Structure 1
Amino acid sequence: MKLFRQSLILTLLLIVLCSVLYPLAILGIARLAPGAGEGQTLSRHGRVVGYARLGQRFQRPEYFHSRPSAVDYNAAGSAGSNKAPSNPEYQALVRARLDTFLRQNPGVQAAEVPAELLTASGSGLDPDLSPRGVLVQVARIARLRGVEAEKLRALVQQQTESPLLGLLGPARVNVLRLNLALDELAPLRR
């Protein structure tokens, strides 16, 4: 009977610890984070247009395009592709993405297209591209928006986030923030 009572008390303590105290501690920490645990929303003209840390689809040619998503940018189902690089279906998908990119970006050679524009990230929701992944799209956007390519390169440089502490991780550009800044720099002609 003594062992049963000890087991029951330990079980109840662990339930309280793991099911109540730990989640409350994590919630408290999240409330201190940017966005207070609700995510960092980005707004335009008082209307929320997206989340800073979630990738989004940008299909219109006059915008910088994001990294492809294996989950169609659905945050409820974060996942990568389960196909190996040697899988024929996967190779066909990457080839189709490359063909589409080259068609939309005349003058760009296949060797200039970074792999991140052809392959989905592990989460399928990566909001960032490398500066190289963005700069390869500048000529298309300059032509379609009627703005000098040099101004777009400066905008990309302005929107580039440095590695953490100057050495941890790569430089990156948040595509949603960049596209919002692009609309400020060169509004779409209607």
Structure 2
Amino acid sequence: MKSSKGVLRPAIVSLLLMTVLCGVLYTAAVTGIAGIFFPAKAEGSIITVTLKDGSRKEYGSALIAQEFTEAKYLIGRPLGTSNLSPTSTEQKEIIEKRIDWWHNLDPDNRRDIPSDLVMASASGVDPNISPAAADYQAERIAQVRGIKVEDVKKLIDKYTTGAFLGIFGEKAVNVLKVNLALDGLL
């Protein structure tokens, strides 16, 4: 029969070895490679703007949603996730409240509200909305800001990305980038 020292030593050595390999070396290698080949993404895709006085300001990540609720801005998906069934009464009530919110924000707009404006994304922090959701808001933004609808739509088009490799996913509009452009910062 082995002593407890003979059984514990290989387990402790294996734990330490795997911790160094997986927790330190692997992490450092992946971070280093990402920093070389994808530096902006490795740093979090932070949108930094040079202001008129020459100073630089960070506004957020292009990969994580920012909450906008003012009528002068493009508004993204609701933040947060839900594990409610799509057919549950509670989920229906939440969506009805969101629809009411949109109608209160833009009472003249009686078009159908795109689903991504009333339902949260799976991650709960999706920074993008569909082109239909952006188009739904263009007239309101133009009216509140006193600019042409075509100018708002040009900015939306400018910050719309296509499907990955032309076939995976759908077109998406980055809400933060459009809003920074509307404020004249991009």
RMSD of aligned Cα (Å): 2.3
Asked if 1:48 is matched to 2:48, the reply is: no
Which ranges in structure 1 are unaligned for 5 or more consecutive residues? Answer: 71-79, 186-190
Alpha-carbon deviation of 1:69? 0.6
1:74 — aligned with what? none
> In terms of Rg, which structure is larger?
2
TM-score normalized with structure 2 length: 0.83
Alpha-carbon deviation of 1:30? 3.2
Q: Distance in 1 between matches of 2:136 and 2:35?
A: 38
CA contact (8 A) 1:105 1:139 kept: no
Which of the numbers 54, 64, 72 marks the counterpart of 2:74? 64
* Change over 3 Å in CA distance of 1:66–1:34 after alignment to 2: farther
Alpha-carbon deviation of 1:103? 2.2
2:143 — aligned with what? 143
Classify the secondary structure of the residue corresponding to 2:40: coil
Which of the numbers 25, 31, 34 marks the counterpart of 1:27? 31
Deviations 1:133-190 (A, max 9, x none): 10000111111111111221122112211111211110111000011111229xxxxx
For 1:96, the aligned partner's letter is: K
For 1:63, the aligned partner's letter is: Y
- The equivalences for 1:80-119 within 5 A come to 80-109=81-110, 112-119=112-119
For 1:121, the aligned partner's letter is: S
CA contact (8 A) 1:104 1:140 kept: no
1:175 — aligned with what? 175
Which of the numbers 38, 54, 58 marks the counterpart of 2:43? 38
Alpha-carbon deviation of 1:24? 1.5
Classify the secondary structure of the residue corresponding to 1:42: strand
Q: Distance in 1 between matches of 2:145 and 2:14?
A: 66
Asked if 1:13 is matched to 2:17, the reply is: yes
1:188 — aligned with what? none
Q: Distance in 2 between matches of 1:158 and 1:119?
A: 25
The sequence identity of aligned pairs, in percent, is 36
Classify the secondary structure of the residue corresponding to 1:173: strand
Q: Distance in 1 between matches of 2:12 and 2:72?
A: 64
